[in-house]
Amino acid sequence: GENVEQHPSTLSVQEGDSAVIKCTYSDSASNYFPWYKQELGKGPQLIIDIRSNVGEKKDQRIAVTLNKTAKHFSLHITETQPEDSAVYFCAASVGNEKLTFGTGTRLTIIP
């Protein structure tokens, strides 16, 4: 089955700087890669996703890149703000089948 690895497990960034979280996956059949933000005591919130026919996608301060050959994808957050502090999870799936999640990254924005 699919295995998704995520690094780093914790990340502290000065407010205004950029944050990068990286994930690798094992199943070459995976073609859908979402990123979720989870705040304490809440369910995960979909913040951006990318499909295997695209190499990069951007939504305001958030961007995701995908390298299918190397089987890795990354989340980039620019101009970080205190409200970006949360746990971020990457995931992978084959179409609308079950998601396999990474282990999570706790991002802390230092004011």
Partner 1 sequence: GAVVSQHPSWVICKSGTSVKIECRSLDFQATTMFWYRQFPKQSLMLMATSNEGSKATYEQGVEKDKFLINHASLTLSTLTVTSAHPEDSSFYICSTNSGRDEQYFGPGTRLTVT
Over the window 76 to 105, marking each residue x when it contacts partner 1 by CB under 8 A and - when it does not, the resulting string is -------------x---x-xx-xxxxxxx-
Separation between Cα atoms, residue 46 and residue 26, nearest integer Å: 22
Residues 6+ apart with CB under 8 A from 93: 2, 30, 31, 32, 99, 100
Residue span binding partner 1 (CB under 8 A) among the ranges 15-23, 44-52, 57-65, 67-75: 44-52
Binding residue for partner 1, selected from 45, 61, 67, 82, defined by CB under 8 A: 45
Q: In the complex, what is the shortest distance from the CB of residue 103 to partner 1, in angstroms, rounded to a whole number?
A: 5
β-pairing, 10-14 with 105-110? Answer: parallel
Bridge partner residues of 35 (DSSP): 48, 90
Residues that bind partner 1 (CB under 8 A): 32, 34, 36, 41-46, 49, 51, 89, 93, 95-96, 98-104
